[in-house]
Amino acid sequence: MSNVDTVIQDLVIANRILAKEDVVDAYGHISIRHPDNPKHFFISRSLAPDLVERGDIVELGLDGQPVRDETRSLYLERFIHAAIYEARPDIHSVVHAHAEDILPFGVAQATPLKPVIHSGSFIGANVPVWDIADKFGDTNLLVVNMEQGRDLAKCLANNNVALMRGHGFASAGRSLIEVVRLSVYLPRNARALLRAKQLGGEIKYLSQGEIAARAAGYSPYSLETWRAWEYWANKAGCGHLLTKPEAAAHTHAHKK
């Protein structure tokens, strides 16, 4: 397969994984930047992620509009993706979702969401909360144009995740696998923190140094990262679609 074909196939897999892992339901979406043209990105047409197939993927520009004639409906909130790609050249994949267990952290103001477990480190030391009402007043809470998308991207700044008050989150990664992993473990970190609060007493969060050490050691095509991708794809019923990158196929020699 060509690189673009592989990217689209991986995007299909990612859609199914996010559905199976309850990060998205009928709503929520994931995109990936075009590997050869940083001003374009791929995302599904308006469809529940669990039902997405190759033919559903469309190519959009950084204005959130399709780059070819398109008669099918598109996600209303595709501007979240467009605006983050515009603002962050380092980012290659974006998720927007409503994963249930992060929602309380967007509306309760006493407990900021911070990494408290090692798999949650990738959310980063700081998870800003974006409130659409601050700038746009009473809306339907959806991000439906570039101005709103850019305001969210500004709040996200150089972080990996922004919570969206009363709505969900937007996460940004350097690769598709990275943003999927981040989005799967984000609700787990939220649950662990919520329950730790219930147990009471002081909570030991990950230190800045630990967060940095984990980020430094992360490689999207390491064997360890691939292990989760392979597992999730199989669990979601699309293990047969996997294309193992060479980097992940690389093996260590243990000689006696």
Looking at the annotation, which residues are catalytic? 77
Nearer to its own copies, 88 or 125 (CB): 125
Nearer to its own copies, 88 or 101 (CB): 101
Q: Which residues contact 184 (CB under 8 A, 6 or more apart)?
A: 17, 18, 21, 23, 228, 232
Surface-to-core class of residue 17, CB atoms within 10 Å of its CB (0-12 exposed, 13-18 middle, 19+ buried): buried
What minimum distance in Å lies between the beta carbon of 56 and its own copies? 12
What minimum distance in Å lies between the beta carbon of 36 and its own copies? 19
Give the C-alpha separation, 215 to 122, whole Å: 7
What minimum distance in Å lies between the beta carbon of 91 and its own copies? 22
Give the C-alpha separation, 52 to 43, whole Å: 10
Give the C-alpha separation, 9 to 14, whole Å: 9
What minimum distance in Å lies between the beta carbon of 102 and its own copies? 9
Helix axes 176-199, 223-235, angle to 10 degrees: 80
CB distance 95 to 30 below 8 Å: yes
The pair of three-digit structure tokens given for residue 131, joined into one six-digit string:
């409130």
For residue 20, count other CB atoms closer than 10 A to its CB: 18
